[in-house]
């Protein structure tokens, strides 16, 4: 080893010891004789002192180094005078008085200092990610990610799970998002697909007798990106045989309690709360509600039916709903201009408008209040349990639109009104999702999660009569408004599997062609099995209080799926394309 100690481990008990440390120059100060260098590595910082009495060569070399030079320093640990002690850092009681300095590598002038309290824009930081990763905050996040990953492995190892790797190069299957395709050189015109998840392989592992599987799995999905989504991501993948839904829920409940105890030092109450999908959509307008605060949605269709406001009455007449929420104490916090901005916001979710009522001591104040008599106004106030100073928002539209618009509005208001402690973590299960959703554009049924979810046994009769009523034995774990995990009981009966394929427009012949290896395996003694996958990146983000998943991934992509550090994706030369039997159809200018 080039060093005897790291920069962050030296303490008062090391005084009088001769040590060697290596690291990057965080700062350099010349006090007209003594030169001070703060040397930094991922373990911390230590102050190095260069005294002219050690010779001109050493002193001049120390004076020539610049920030981000890589140094090797040998010297004696000395105690600082009491007035010079820095209690803000662990090494603040000591200095290293150097008698030897070696510049291991020089550095160009950096585009930004890793130690800055005001980092530059994300594009610049991603381009120079090797500098960005030197920032103490990002180093803390990478260390935490390692720790969380290890804890997850420890938990499942204690419960008898085997970590088994599954292929990265597989077959393209319909799983809800676009595949990343990899052309095959030895099979011209054919493609592998990078895994959106190890779904089929882990089911085959259950059939093969490995009844408790887990994997820290890399997954790839070619989909539009956002703050909590990346084209390549990591999930904690879990599958169990000879179990039902309850076994999965209890296993993950135990993981949550274990992580909360190990990371936060708190005993989290179990079992975790449970809501059905229908209940979650009715109360919060979302299948991943943030439950750190209330602001539940309420229906006032029965009250609006008797009012004189045409927008409400027309919505009800066309099969719509009139629903809203109460922003407690917000009447004075939102001007008419700000409410107009919220109206534009809900329009992004197809809402045609946003009505509002300011609650006063005498009733409701609003441009539409005149359409409601005193009794109707009091009924609205009571429905929302409102008080003077509250602000009630209403959306009148088709049921899905009211849920989407009000769910998004609730989330936005929760942040703007600071209704929750950002350090709090609230977990809840959402159960009984629809098995299918109807695609209005293509006029066909799509799998809500994926085509391998087992239907609720009581709903099988709806395959022929009303597929929209079929519930899946699926479950999502929501955490602070994010989907923290998702899974289901799997289909292990090939007859039921084909029923699902039929409804999705995948006839038996095509199913055999696309899923022959899974369908064949199901015919050879498939046990009942179920599984779930937790988004590891997202869990690191939530535990650390970050609001962008890119901060917790060492080398993330931008929202346009570009790697600014390496320049990927990039063009390749004609020889490579020819070997892969690929011809590029250049886009027209």
Residue of 67, 74, 94 lying closest to 10 (CA atoms): 94
Go through the chain and tell me how many residues it has: 589
Answer yes or no: are the C-beta atoms of 249 and 531 closer than 8 Å. Answer: no
Measured distance CA(544)–CA(480) in Å, rounded = 13
348 and 443 part of one domain: no
Dihedral sign of CA atoms 58, 63, 64, 67 in order: positive
297 and 407 part of one domain: yes
Instruction: Identify any residues that bridge with 77 across adjacent strands, giving them in sequence order.
Output: 96
Annotate 217-261 with DSSP letters as a single string. EEEE-B---BTTB-SEEEEEEEEEES--HHHHHHHHHHHHHHHII
Domain membership of residue 581 (yes or no) is: no
405 and 322 part of one domain: yes
Domain membership of residue 207 (yes or no) is: no
Domain membership of residue 574 (yes or no) is: no
Kindly state the DSSP code that residue 262 receives in the 8-state scheme.
I
Domain membership of residue 63 (yes or no) is: yes
Measured distance CA(483)–CA(533) in Å, rounded = 11
Measured distance CA(454)–CA(537) in Å, rounded = 28
356 and 450 part of one domain: no
408 and 440 part of one domain: no
Distances in whole angstroms, Cα of residue 256 to Cα of each of 244, 252, 363, 479, 575: 19, 6, 46, 11, 51
Residue of 96, 113, 89 lying closest to 47 (CA atoms): 96
Domain membership of residue 301 (yes or no) is: yes
- The total of structural domains in the chain comes to 3
Domain membership of residue 517 (yes or no) is: yes
Q: Domain range for residue 437?
A: 433-472+493-526
314: domain CATH number is 3.30.1360.30
Domain membership of residue 191 (yes or no) is: no
Question: Phi and psi at residue 183, in whole multiples of 5°?
Answer: -70, 145
47: domain CATH number is 2.40.50.140
Domain membership of residue 85 (yes or no) is: yes
512 and 461 part of one domain: yes
460 and 510 part of one domain: yes
Question: Phi and psi at residue 255, in whole multiples of 5°?
Answer: -65, -45
**How many other β-carbons are positioned within 10 Å of the β-carbon of residue 122?**
16
Tens of pLDDT along the chain (589 residues)?
A: 899 999 999 999 999 999 999 999 999 999 878 999 999 999 999 999 999 999 999 999 999 999 999 999 999 999 999 999 999 999 999 999 999 999 999 999 999 999 888 999 999 999 999 999 999 999 999 999 999 999 999 999 999 999 999 999 998 876 567 899 999 999 999 999 999 999 989 999 999 999 999 999 999 999 877 767 899 999 999 999 999 999 999 999 999 999 999 999 999 999 999 999 999 999 999 999 999 999 999 999 999 998 999 999 999 999 999 999 999 999 999 999 999 999 999 999 999 999 999 999 999 999 999 999 999 999 999 999 999 999 999 999 999 999 999 999 999 999 999 999 988 999 999 999 999 988 888 888 888 888 889 999 899 889 989 999 999 999 999 999 999 999 999 998 888 888 898 898 888 888 888 888 888 888 899 999 999 999 999 999 999 999 889 999 999 999 889 999 999 999 999 999 999 999 888 777 6
Question: Phi and psi at residue 43, in whole multiples of 5°?
Answer: -95, -15
């Amino acid at each position: 080893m080039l060093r005897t100690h790291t920069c962050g481990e030296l303490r008062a008990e090391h005084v009088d010891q001769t040590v060697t440390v290596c690291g990057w120059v965080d700062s350099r100060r010349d006090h007209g004789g003594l030169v001070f260098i703060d040397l930094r590595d991922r373990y911390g910082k230590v102050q190095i002192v260069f005294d002219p009495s050690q010779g001109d060569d050493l002193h001049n070399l120390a004076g020539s180094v610049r920030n981000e030079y890589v140094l090797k320093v040998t010297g004696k640990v000395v105690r600082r005078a009491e007035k010079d002690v820095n209690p803000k850092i662990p090494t603040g009681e000591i200095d290293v008085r150097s008698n030897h300095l070696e510049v291991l590598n020089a550095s160009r002038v950096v585009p930004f200092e890793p130690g800055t309290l005001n980092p530059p824009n994300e594009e610049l930081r991603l381009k120079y990610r090797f500098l960005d990763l030197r920032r103490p905050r990002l180093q803390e996040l990478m260390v935490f990610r390692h720790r969380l990953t290890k804890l997850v492995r420890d938990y499942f190892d204690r419960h008898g799970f085997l970590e088994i790797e599954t292929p990265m190069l597989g077959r393209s299957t319909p799983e809800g998002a676009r595949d990343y395709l990899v052309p095959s050189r030895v099979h011209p015109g054919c493609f592998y697909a990078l895994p959106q998840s190890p779904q089929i392989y882990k089911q085959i592992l259950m059939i093969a007798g490995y009844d408790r599987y887990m994997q820290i799995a890399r997954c790839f999905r070619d989909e539009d990106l956002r703050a909590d989504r990346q084209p390549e991501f990591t999930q904690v993948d879990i599958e169990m045989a000879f179990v039902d839904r309850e076994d999965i829920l209890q296993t993950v409940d135990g993981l949550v309690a274990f992580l909360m105890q190990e990371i936060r030092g708190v005993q989290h109450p179990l079992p975790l709360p449970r809501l059905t999908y229908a209940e979650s959509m009715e109360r919060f307008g979302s299948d991943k509600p943030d439950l750190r605060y209330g602001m539940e949605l309420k229906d006032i269709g029965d009250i609006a039916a008797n009012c004189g406001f045409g927008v409400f009455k027309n919505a009800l007449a066309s099969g719509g709903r009139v629903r809203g929420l109460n922003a407690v104490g917000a009447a004075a916090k939102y001007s008419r201009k700000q409410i107009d901005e919220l109206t534009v916001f809900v329009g992004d979710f197809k809402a045609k408008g946003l009505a509002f009522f300011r609650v006063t001591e005498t009733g409701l104040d609003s441009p539409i209040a005149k359409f409601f008599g005193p009794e109707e106004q009091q009924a609205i106030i009571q429905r929302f349990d409102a008080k003077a100073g509250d602000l009630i928002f209403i959306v009148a539209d088709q049921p899905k639109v009211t849920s989407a618009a009000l769910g998004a509005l609730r989330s936005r208001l929760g942040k703007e009104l600071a209704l929750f402690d950002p350090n709090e973590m609230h977990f809840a299960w959402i159960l009984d999702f629809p098995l299918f959703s109807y695609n209005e554009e293509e006029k066909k049924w799509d799998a809500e999660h994926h085509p391998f979810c087992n239907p609720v046994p009581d709903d099988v009769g709806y395959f022929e009569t009303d597929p929209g009523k079929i519930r899946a034995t699926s479950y999502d774990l929501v955490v602070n408004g994010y989907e923290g995990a998702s899974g289901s009981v799997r289909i292990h009966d090939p007859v039921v599997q084909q029923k699902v394929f039929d409804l999705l427009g995948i006839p038996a012949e095509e199913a055999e062609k696309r899923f022959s290896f899974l369908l064949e395996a199901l015919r050879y003694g498939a046990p009942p099995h179920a599984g779930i996958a937790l988004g590891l990146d997202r869990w690191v983000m939530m535990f650390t209080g970050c609001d962008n998943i890119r901060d917790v991934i060492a080398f993330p992509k931008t929202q346009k799926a570009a790697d600014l550090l390496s320049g990927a994706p990039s063009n390749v030369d004609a020889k490579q394309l020819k070997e892969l039997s690929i011809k590029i159809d250049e886009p027209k200018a």
